[in-house]
Amino acid sequence: MWRTVLRRIVIMIPQIILLSVLVFIMAKAMPGDALTGLLDPSIDPAALDAQREKLGLNNPWYVQYWDWITKAVQGDFGQSFRFKMPVSELIGERMMNTVWLSIVTLILTYLIAIPLGITSGRYNDTWADRFITGYTYIGFAAPLFIFALLMLWVFGFHFGWFPTGGSVAPGLVPGTFQHFMSKLYHLLLPAISMALIATVSTVQYLRSEIIDTKQRDFIITARAKGASESRVYNRHILRNSLLPIAAFFGYEITGLIGGSVFIESIFSYPGMGYLFLNSIALRDFSVVTALVLLYGVASIIGALISDIVLSIVDPRIRIK
């Protein structure tokens, strides 16, 4: 297995290099540059050109890319032109909010999806199965940002059960129990909104796996030998059906990356996704390129985690 992991890591290196090149080129293709709208429009054009020359914005793109990637490898993503601080520090301030949001969302996703998937698969073609399947169809059809806006309006503005913005109540001392509970309270509604949509694919996949496993020969043989129904489900059907779900763990991380961008923006939650959209609107190229690169690397690592988990939980599978 370790040979497989090492081979996958080696393959990841050119993927990350290609990703960094594409990210940089697309960022440079955006209208304007890092100084657009930053300086006084009445400034002397010669002074503006001098500033661009000083920042290296007049260099060929491959020269700018090399300067950027060599510093990025060392953890230096440059300076944010809008926030007037190093990009690494700016992202570091927001990263933990996104990490906590992703962790809580992932926990809620599995807490909701696994019981629903087991119920729907075990009692297929019943009213419970039809109700759960109907929920998944609605989840597939509902865009995440529309569903999140609806959740925000109903539970945030109408009933007032949850905060409608921010990550913590002001005035609380970091490290205290009240501070921790306030952060959990603020991220609960965004996490629930994202989890309710993220569960639908896991529910459908688990349902299909259980129904398919119930019809296999070894299940029919176990029943013929007189095994109890609970033993057949718990030791044979459920165990074999949950194996592919474990491999989805890494891909769930990848899905949360894209979902958090919209969720954080809708709920004004100060994480990396909210920073990403604001940086695009402000043309803060240093922040945009750093965040897209981090998101891409996280997606590649998520796929690697899924392959490793799948090879661990199912020894029959060896990824070439």
Q: pLDDT tens digits, residue range 123-180?
A: 877 888 888 888 888 888 888 778 888 888 888 888 888 888 777 777 777 778 888 8
Tell me how long the chain is. 320
Strand runs (DSSP E) across the chain, as ranges? 79-80, 85-86
User: Please, what is the Cα angle at 233 between 107 and 226, to 5 degrees?
Assistant: 165
Note the pTM of the prediction, 2 decimals: 0.75
Of 264, 242, 255, 250, the C-alpha closest to 313 is: 242
Report the amino acid identity of residue 95.
Answer: M
10 Å CB burial of residue 69 (0-12, 13-18, 19+) is middle
Of 280, 277, 269, 250, the C-alpha closest to 97 is: 269
pLDDT tens for each residue of 215-262: 777 777 777 777 666 677 766 676 666 666 766 666 677 667 766 788
Tell me the CB-side half-sphere exposure of residue 233, using CA atoms within 13 A.
Answer: 10
- Gap between the Cα atoms of 84 and 56, Å rounded: 18
